[in-house]
């Protein structure tokens, strides 16, 4: 009986310990995105989510899409292509954000490096 | 003069030109407008000059609504009515609010914006918001805040004004009524019955009880129900039970089309520069008035996109406050305490994990009273509390139960739901707004469509604006009162208040209630001369 109690106590401690470690790890990672404590790659974790979402949206890779749009609109600045996208309803919904497809491709492109 | 009905011991008959039933915003405004005419006016008010539980309890429903809020305390039953606890936010309705919209069933008023417009200025004086109007161009220039949507064909900036402190109608406008010789206010006088002559279509008298059960009868040339959006319907249903639907209820419209302005927290705005949105977050004060901007849909967009309008004020929030994770953490915490699994458990878990730094911050603040992350207090974006225009629906209704209150009058039940088409129109409106904000390159909108299921529970808030239950229409098939607010099939019974709104716009109703009441007073006095 005493042994069982000890085992249960250890199990609880182990569960609590792993929860604390994972929670503080996640908190640290999340906080680090806002600071300069971590290298650039680690800050791109959210971008990676965009990259995953992009893959569901388009058969082209983000880079291929960006290249194609830049070719189509040569002479226009990126901000002007984004404006065109919004004007012509060429938007996508990623992570609940309503974004121009061109800017979404840029974010996904950054995410593709992580 | 003011008479406490509780001090009256004997039953007495009283005679007036105008008998106003209810001393809230509409009742007090109407009495003031009729004051100078010298006509004999009485107000019959069930409550006292201050809050009493005895009176307030008469607002309790037979059963609590399942999807709507408790109607016992979201309005106040004493002189001044709900103006005793309102926020005092006022804006004018838009011209499109009065027009029939092919894509919205039962839309369209029998009067136009131009017929109400002349009364807005005077109504604003009653509401304490001044006669200098609600024009965005004027106020943006006045405060030196640019209107970033000035050139937009899709969305607009509109203005909200409020008096500081909020105007309590009886406190502010009751004195001349109390001092007047031609106005009598009966307080603690509960309307219980009405006598209708079906031959002449005339309401001949009403009865009221004091709290000791002593009955008094008031005869008048004209009666005006000003009891609020729920009680107007309740009394009309009670009287129509007695007179077999003769009082404007041939088509069984009384109590139906009940509307509020649901507020849905369904989006967040991340600006490129906060200064771009200064007009919407200025909260400027001028001459004891608070003035601010909000975002709405352009009127032409409504028809192009077949949507309803939305009112979007902006609230600056810190990373800490805007965190979805903390909110979900509380939901999960409460559920654990109650040993249950909350609805949308998966979504809450994702929120907590995705926002774990802010959850840790919240735990630290609560447990150790210290901060973990300085950036928690940095600006995190604008949380959008979106007030939507609700579509009038026949199945949203106030109706009578078999249970009676202390006066022997049937209590109400409410059936109300937020319909799918209203939610989908809001998503469509947010979609238009997101694209326009993107096109103007002033920010990006996060539209939380994953909240869809929660929009009928923890993401839904009410505005306590009770509208539509005795709607105005061209004929008795479509409504309860005509364009002059006279109850169909009667010659001298009128209704004032937001219960007459066929549709409710997307802005608070009090300014328009007051404007329509002033218009009614003008009509009554003109009719009296004729």
Q: ipTM, 2 decimals?
A: 0.78
Out of B356, B441, B448, closest to residue A30 by CB: B356
Same domain, A104 and A49: yes
pLDDT at B327 over 90: no
Between chains, do B438 and A86 touch, taking CB under 8 Å as contact? yes
Same domain, A60 and A84: yes
Which residue of A86, A92, A107 to mutate against B (max B Cβ within 10 Å)? A86
The alpha carbon of residue A94 is apart from the nearest alpha carbon of chain B, in Å, by: 9
When pLDDT is cut at 50, 70 and 90, the band that residue A42 belongs to is very low
Is the alpha carbon torsion for B227, B231, B237, B242 positive or negative?
negative
Same domain, A76 and A23: no
Same domain, A83 and A99: yes
pLDDT at B348 over 90: no
Between chains, do B434 and A83 touch, taking CB under 8 Å as contact? no
Residue A44 is predicted with a pLDDT of 45
Instruction: Read off the pLDDT of each residue in B512-516 and give the average, rounded to a whole number.
Output: 98
Instruction: Say what percent of chain A tops pLDDT 90.
Output: 40
Answer for the pair B25, B513: CB distance below 8 angstroms, yes or no: yes
Same domain, A55 and A96: yes
Same domain, A59 and A23: no
pLDDT at A110 over 60: yes
Same domain, A20 and A62: no
Same domain, A108 and A53: yes
Contacts of the segment B278-287: beta carbons below 8 A, 24+ positions apart: B278/B145, B278/B146, B279/B136, B279/B139, B279/B140, B279/B143, B279/B145, B279/B146, B279/B147, B279/B148, B279/B157, B280/B157, B280/B313, B280/B314, B281/B314, B281/B315, B281/B316, B281/B382, B282/B143, B282/B145, B284/B143, B285/B164, B287/B130
When pLDDT is cut at 50, 70 and 90, the band that residue A41 belongs to is very low
Instruction: Read off the pLDDT of each residue in B135-149 and give the average, rounded to a whole number.
Output: 95
Out of B372, B439, B450, closest to residue A86 by CB: B439
The alpha carbon of residue A82 is apart from the nearest alpha carbon of chain B, in Å, by: 7
Per DSSP, the three-state class of B402 is: strand
Superfamily of domain B2-128+167-261+466-529: FAD/NAD(P)-binding domain (3.50.50.60)
Distance (Å, whole) CA B190 – CA B498: 21
Nearest residue to A91 (alpha-carbon basis) of B437, B367, B151, B395: B437
Between chains, do A98 and B434 touch, taking CB under 8 Å as contact? yes
Range of the domain at A75: 44-114
Same domain, A18 and A49: no
**A42 touching B (Cβ < 8 Å):** no
Out of B357, B360, B444, closest to residue A98 by CB: B444
Q: pLDDT tens, B52-104? A: 999 999 999 999 999 999 999 999 999 999 999 998 999 999 999 999 999 99
Same domain, A29 and A49: no
Residue B457 is predicted with a pLDDT of 82
Instruction: Read off the pLDDT of each residue in A57-61 and give the average, rounded to a whole number.
Output: 92
Distance (Å, whole) CA B269 – CA B386: 12
Between chains, do A100 and B438 touch, taking CB under 8 Å as contact? yes
Number of domains making up chain A: 2
Q: Where are the domains of chain B?
A: 2-128+167-261+466-529, 143-163+263-389+419-461
Same domain, A58 and A26: no
Between chains, do A97 and B444 touch, taking CB under 8 Å as contact? yes
Instruction: Say what percent of chain B tops pLDDT 70.
Output: 100
Residue B341 is predicted with a pLDDT of 83
Same domain, A71 and A25: no
Select, from the ranges A4-18, B265-279, B321-335, the one with the highest average predicted confidence (pLDDT). Answer: B265-279
The DSSP line for B342-393 is -TTHHHHHHHHHHTHHHHHHHHHHHHHS--S-GGGGSEEEEEEEEEEPPPP-
């Amino acid at each position: 009986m005493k042994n069982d109690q000890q085992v249960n106590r250890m199990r609880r401690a182990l569960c609590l310990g792993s929860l604390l470690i994972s929670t503080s790890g996640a908190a640290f990672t999340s906080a680090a995105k806002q600071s300069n404590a971590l290298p650039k790659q680690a800050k791109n974790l959210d971008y990676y989510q965009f990259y995953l979402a992009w893959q569901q949206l388009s058969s082209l890779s983000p880079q291929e899409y960006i290249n194609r749009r830049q070719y189509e609109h040569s002479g226009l600045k990126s901000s002007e292509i984004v404006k065109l996208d919004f004007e012509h309803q060429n938007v996508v919904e990623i992570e609940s954000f309503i974004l121009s497809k061109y800017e979404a491709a840029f974010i996904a492109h950054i995410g593709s490096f992580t | 003069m003011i008479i406490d009905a509780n001090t009256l011991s004997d039953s007495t008959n009283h005679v007036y030109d105008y008998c106003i039933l209810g001393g809230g915003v509409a009742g007090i405004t109407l009495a003031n407008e009729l004051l100078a005419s010298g006509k004999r006016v009485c107000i019959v008010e069930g409550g006292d000059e201050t809050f009493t539980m005895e009176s307030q309890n008469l607002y309790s429903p037979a059963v609590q609504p399942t999807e709507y809020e408790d109607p016992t305390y979201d309005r106040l039953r004493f002189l001044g009515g709900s103006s005793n606890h309102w926020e005092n936010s006022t804006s004018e309705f838009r011209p499109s609010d009065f027009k029939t919209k092919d894509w919205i069933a039962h839309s369209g008023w029998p009067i136009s914006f131009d017929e109400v417009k002349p009364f807005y200025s005077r109504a604003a004086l009653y509401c304490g918001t001044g006669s200098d109007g609600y024009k965005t161009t004027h106020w943006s220039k006045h405060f030196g805040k640019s209107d970033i949507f000035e050139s937009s064909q899709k969305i607009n900036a509109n203005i909200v004004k409020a008096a500081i402190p909020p105007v309590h109608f009886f406190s502010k406008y009751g004195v001349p009524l109390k001092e007047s010789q031609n106005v009598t206010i009966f307080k603690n006088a509960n309307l219980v019955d009405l006598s209708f002559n079906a031959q002449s279509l005339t309401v001949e008298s009403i009865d009221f009880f004091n709290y000791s059960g002593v009955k008094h009868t008031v005869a008048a040339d004209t009666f005006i129900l000003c009891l609020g959006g729920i009680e107007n319907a309740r009394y009309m249903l009670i009287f129509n039970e007695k007179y077999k639907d003769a009082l404007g209820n041939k088509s069984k419209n009384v109590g139906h089309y009940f509307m509020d302005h649901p507020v849905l927290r369904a989006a967040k705005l991340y600006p490129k520069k906060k200064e771009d949105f200064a007009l919407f977050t200025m909260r400027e004060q001028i001459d004891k008035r608070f003035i601010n901007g909000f975002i709405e849909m352009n009127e032409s967009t409504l028809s192009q996109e077949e949507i309803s309008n939305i009112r979007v004020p902006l609230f600056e929030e810190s990373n800490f406050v805007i965190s979805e994770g903390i909110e979900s953490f509380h939901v999960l915490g409460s559920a654990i305490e109650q040993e249950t699994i909350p609805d949308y458990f998966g979504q809450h878990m994702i929120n907590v994990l995705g926002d774990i730094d802010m959850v840790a911050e919240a735990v630290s603040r609560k447990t150790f009273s210290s901060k973990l992350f300085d950036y928690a207090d940095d600006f995190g974006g604008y949380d959008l509390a979106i007030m939507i225009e609700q579509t009038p629906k026949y199945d949203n209704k106030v109706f009578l139960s078999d249970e009676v209150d202390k006066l022997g009058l049937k209590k109400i039940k409410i059936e109300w739901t937020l319909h799918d088409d209203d939610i989908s129109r809001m998503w469509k409106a947010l979609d238009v707004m997101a694209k326009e904000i993107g096109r103007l390159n002033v920010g990006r909108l996060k539209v939380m469509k994953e909240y869809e299921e929660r929009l009928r529970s923890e993401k839904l808030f009410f505005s306590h604006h009770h509208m539509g239950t005795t709607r105005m229409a061209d004929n008795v098939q479509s409504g309860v009162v005509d364009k002059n607010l006279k109850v169909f099939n009667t010659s001298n019974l009128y209704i004032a208040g937001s219960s007459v709104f066929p549709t409710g716009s997307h802005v608070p109703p009090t300014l328009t209630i007051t404007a329509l009441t002033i218009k009614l007073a003008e009509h009554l006095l003109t009719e009296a001369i004729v």
